[in-house]
A and B are shown apart, each in its own frame.
Chain A
């Protein structure tokens, strides 16, 4: 799933067309897959809306639906909550959580240090090297230790 900044948001495209782009390399394309993907992220009713007419949170869910239609087992989401307001961000992470619990492996790159960490099973903190790895609580504790030693690695 791409970062928001890499997209041309003025491009005229419907949500359904956007999700169909996820199938660009798939031989047996199916509109049922597109509908299913939209339903999984809860925006099936917005299929015919223009992408730039949606809210930021809905746009991110549309991009997630495009990613999911690829039928991979591992997904990489690049800063999916960047520039989202807190409620939209929380809602997006709830959907990501549901997808993970349905058996998908989802890798998320993020700069969010707050409560958002709780949405993930495992967290890796990187700053040139691996600073911490483990559950959200373990990583938070490790980072607090590093910061208390004077290494303000994490803002």
Chain B
């Protein structure tokens, strides 16, 4: 499970960083929370609710930001805070007893077969996206205007990428938490992107570095009896001085 998360998150992260969509991914990772809470309240698998609300948050932010040139970051961060806040407020409003900390920061002890299945599904969805739309993703990342001019439906492609991101985020919920997953999406990919000749190569390298990050993080968490999510987040920070442009 830890290795799978270590592969999937940085592989997705490499695509998001090269597409300059990491802020959107961070938004999705926060806006999955209300969906997870609502799904738990009505007895549905939390990943379904999480993916749906993550996507809704991303679409709402995209719509609002598209009308406010130069203020996109502020809009996205406002939606990010608002959706997380809404998710937290739902707990007392629905009189639910949910361990919010484990959703946000992970709880390795709570990892079960359902989490493994979720991770396998998100990994498969990432593979399908790359297999079917790799060249389109390359075009979109390099030249969005050119991609649109050549007839590619860039809105659909971005939505698809958002969907896969939301899947990856919710599948990482138990292992590292939906908030701290952003570290695993970013830091190993920074290493993987260094001098990578192509996006394909960057994805493979990022996944390789992700295994090292994930394995080290989970190993240290077992040795020192600490929560793996925060530990991996801190490990990502410590690795930054070793990244190169």
Contacts and interface: CB of A to CB of B under 8 A. Distances in A.
A89 B100 CA distance: 60
Given A8-B20, A11-B18, A13-B138, A2 B201 contact: no
A24 interface: yes
Contacts of A108: none
Contacts of A6: 143, 145-146
Contact of A2 (B143, B151, B193): B143
Contacts of A14: 197-198
A50 B195 CA distance: 9
Listed residue (A2, A12, A13) with the most chain B CB atoms within 10 angstroms of its CB: A12
A17 interface: yes
A20 B197 CA distance: 15
Give the contact-size bracket for chain A: 10 to 19
Interface string A17-55: 110110011000000000000000000000010100000
Contacts of A128: none
A7 interface: yes
Interface residues of B, number: 22
B198 A18 contact: no
Contacts of B20: 8
A50 B143 contact: no
B150 A24 contact: yes
B198 A12 contact: yes
Interface string B195-215: 111110110000000000000
B136 interface: yes
B122 to A, nearest CB: 23
Interface string B166-202: 0000000000000000000000000001011111011
B140 to A, nearest CB: 10
Contacts of A11: 18, 138, 141-142, 199
A8 B135 contact: no
Given A2-B146, A12-B202, A48 B138 contact: no
Listed residue (A2, A7, A11, A21) with the most chain B CB atoms within 10 angstroms of its CB: A11
A99 B72 CA distance: 42
B199 to A, nearest CB: 6
Contacts of B146: 2, 6-7, 21
Interface of B: 18, 20, 135-136, 138-139, 141-143, 145-146, 150-152, 193, 195-199, 201-202
15 contacts: A2-B143, A2-B146, A6-B143, A6-B146, A8-B18, A8-B142, A10-B18, A11-B138, A12-B198, A12-B199, A12-B201, A21-B143, A21-B146, A24-B152, A25-B150
Given A8-B18, A21-B138, 10 more contacts: A2-B146, A11-B142, A12-B199, A13-B142, A17-B198, A21-B143, A21-B146, A24-B135, A24-B150, A48-B197
